[in-house]
Amino acid sequence: AVIGRYKLSVQRTSSSSSPASLGTFVLLFNPWSAGDDVFMPNKAECEEYVLEEFGIIFGGNKDHINSFGWNFGQFQGDILNICLSMLDRSLNYRQDPVTDVSHRNDPKYLGRVLSAMVNANDDQGVLLGNWSGNYEGGKSPSSWTGSGEILQNWKESGFKPVRYGQCWVFAAVLTTVLRCLGIPTRTVTNFSSAHDADGNLRVDEFYDASGNHLEMGTDSIWNFHVWNESWFSRSDLGPSYSGWQVLDATPQEESGGIYQCGPTSRTAVKEGEVELDFDCPFVFAEVNADCMYWNYDPAAAKKTLIFSKSTVIGQFISTKAVGRDDRVDITNDYKYEEGSTKERDIFKKARKKLGLEDKFDPTAPTPQEIDQKPDISGKFKVAGPLEVGKDLKLILVLANLQSDAKTVHVNMTAWSTLYTRRPVHEIWKDSISLTLSPKEEKQFPIKISYSEYQQQLTRDNMIQVTGLCHVEGGLQVLVQRDIILDNPAIDIQVLDEAKVNKEVNVEVVFTNPIHTEVKDCVLQVEGNDLLRGILEINIPPLKASEKSSIKFKLIPSETGPKHLLVNFSCDKFADIKTFKMVNV
């Protein structure tokens, strides 16, 4: 049956009077029912992926995975009405309402339509994406703590796109909408995620002679990317492709002329069946693309391959565990073990199906270039705490792999970046020249002080450090590390036993860890069934090392485990998040 709002009326057979209205009801998908397209046999999974209003989303990078809580809030207030009105605002409905409504019994169709409606591109959808680092005129993507505020804002503004979203915000809102409609859904984070814009299953990155990461071409590798998986059958592809389907509401590439993505069968991705609907080549590349690093000389307009890697992309693919707050790794559900012959065979199969094996690609490196072996190796090691407010200490380790001496010139840069690894501000640069004796290893300490990076850091707290090593008479070597700096911690204490309709005192404690005053401090608190709406508390400036204790009251309205989410910001630290489970 088509989901949505139905009118119910009764007609007496013996009477000729008009039917009496009994009111309306809303029909949703039913994952507990064996005949439903979204049937999920495991009850604990139904609880988590349909009924659970709290979630954990993973971010950071492959070397440093962090997580934060999110309030999906799919059963709060007006959310169901907003989700239904979203269907009536889609391009499909506007173009052909009768056909659109007749397809609303199909989770494949609704997943695809809603992946387009959650972003504002094409259809005045819910959220406007912004990856510039400047979020004036709206809220920064990292400041949201739940979907409710976003969906309410969209409705209250007369359905004008809410400013601003990035990938996890799009994915979290789509989770809310699909769970609300009864489709089991979760957020999934892919680390070192490829954005393959030209569809050749390869991403190219370019660096100049100084080691600066150039914004050339449209390919990119994001530190992480968050999308959705929804659970339903694929009558169009056959039973082996049913189960988890990838949907992605982040506007990256057009599909069928508009910014939508999926549903892509996860099985099809793992088996390299890239010709199957929908958008399989793009999702396959996100977890599997090969990676080429080039040195680009703008004067000669010439590029030289530094090296290529087939094992960088698609790592630690993560989602929240069922019934617990832990991370579960689902990388093996997307691909065979990295570096195995099976994984390489599947990659070749996908290239073949896309017609890439037979076609000459003038932009691809030659086999000779790919097989070249460097004379030296290098890496950046961390030599101190990675915390906002502390100096960043690293060690550049260079080793000569050959049995003759090598002279090396290293150009180093550090840039603040967004989580998409887009460089925003240069922070530091330096260069060194040295000679390495046969098989010798040398270490060079690097210090980037807090005063050097403080003004330049983005809200993502990410810094990319690069060293381009020019080896005399040999190949260039690229040494690179993406660093994430941790914010200071914030602590929540629930001071009383939580009971329905009784006041509960809560204390939030933050200590300023740096040697200067912090100001413009704001605390944002939300939690379903614990408080109405979002509580915002302005806090006076905090001197160096000063501790702030903020107290407020909750009045729980329902029993059971509830989650309190807190977000603290000031002029020196952006969006310090934590959450606390409160048993009412």
Based on the residue annotation, tell me whether 225 is a catalytic residue of this protein.
yes
Annotated ligand binding at 338? The verdict is yes
- The residue annotated as part of the active site, out of 248, 460, 529, 575, is 248
Cα–Cα distance between 70 and 308 in angstroms, integer?
37
3-state secondary structure of 57: strand
- The residue annotated as part of the active site, out of 195, 225, 470, 563, is 225
What is the maximal distance between C-alpha atoms in the chain?
104
Dihedral, 4, 8, 13, 18 alpha carbons, nearest 10: -110
- The residue annotated as part of the active site, out of 36, 83, 100, 167, is 167
Based on the residue annotation, tell me whether 167 is a catalytic residue of this protein.
yes
In terms of Cα–Cα distance, which of 59, 305, 67 is closest to 193?
Answer: 59
What are 480's strand-pairing partners? Answer: 466
Cα–Cα distance between 419 and 484 in angstroms, integer?
9
CB under 8 A, 24+ apart: contacts of 135-139 = 135/163, 135/164, 137/163, 138/162, 138/163, 138/164, 139/163, 139/164
Judge whether 479 and 379 are in contact, CB under 8 Å.
yes
Identity at 201, one-letter amino acid code: L
Annotated ligand binding at 343? The verdict is yes
Cα–Cα distance between 431 and 211 in angstroms, integer?
10
Judge whether 376 and 408 are in contact, CB under 8 Å.
yes
In terms of Cα–Cα distance, which of 415, 388, 422 is closest to 134?
Answer: 422
Annotated ligand binding at 53? The verdict is no
Annotated ligand binding at 61? The verdict is no
State the sign of the Cα–Cα–Cα–Cα dihedral 192, 196, 201, 203: negative
What are 214's strand-pairing partners? Answer: 206
Residues in CB range of 178: below 8 A, 6 or more apart = 111, 114, 185, 228, 230, 247
What are 21's strand-pairing partners? Answer: 9
Residues comprising the chain, all counted: 584
Based on the residue annotation, tell me whether 563 is a catalytic residue of this protein.
no
Cβ atoms within 10 Å, residue 196: 25
Decide: residue 541, CB within 10 A, 0-12 exposed, 13-18 middle, 19+ buried: middle
3-state secondary structure of 553: strand
Phi, psi of 416 (to 5 degrees): -80, 145
Q: Catalytic site residues?
A: 167, 225, 248
Residue ranges of the annotated binding site are: 288, 290, 338, 343
Residue ranges of the annotated binding site for Ca(2+) are: 288, 290, 338, 343
